[in-house]
Structure 1
Amino acid sequence: MGQKTALGTLLKAIGNSGQGKVVPGWGAVPIMTVIGLLLLVFLVILLQIYNQSLLLQGFSVDWNGN
């Protein structure tokens, strides 16, 4: 068996203090849902710009950089 040191005891007390604790209810689900939906909208807009189904004035999409 290993030696017990003051540092090891301190680190063990700090590291395991929140283990197994879960916030009751929905927690952060509403916030993560909003962030996920915003990311989805952003990606759809990028896809539409790339496919040229969303046209912007003065903005062309091509591989030559023109």
Structure 2
Amino acid sequence: MGQKTALGSLLKRIGNSNQGKVVPGWGATPVMAFVGAMLIIFLLIMLNIYNQSVLLQGFSVDWNGV
């Protein structure tokens, strides 16, 4: 068996206080859905720029400019 220390006791009280408990309801699901949707929109815009479906003035997406 290991030694008990003050730091270990403090960390155990902080880390395990809500272990196994589930809050009823949706929780953070709407926030995560919004963040996911914004990420998908951002990636679609980047893909359109790369495929030159959206042309930007003075912005080249070829490897010759590197």
TM-score normalised by the shorter chain: which range applies? 0.7 to 0.9
Give TM-score, length-normalised by structure 2: 0.77
Moved over 2 A (4+): 1-15
User: After the TM superposition, which residues 34-53 of structure 1 pair with which residues of structure 2 at under 5 Å, given as runs?
Assistant: 34-53=34-53
Bigger helix share:
2
- Name the Cα RMSD after superposition: 2.1
Paired residue total: 66
Aligned in 2, Cα 1:61/1:19: closer, same or farther, shift over 3 Å?
same
Matched, 1:26 2:26: yes
> Residue 58 of structure 1 aligns with which residue?
58
* Partner AA of 1:37 in structure 2: A
Give TM-score, length-normalised by structure 1: 0.77
- Structure 1 gaps, min length 5: none
Q: How many percent identity over aligned positions?
A: 74
Looking at structure 2, the residues matched to 57 and 3 of structure 1 have their Cα atoms a distance apart, in angstroms, of 66
- Structure 2 gaps, min length 5: none
> Residue 15 of structure 2 aligns with which residue?
15
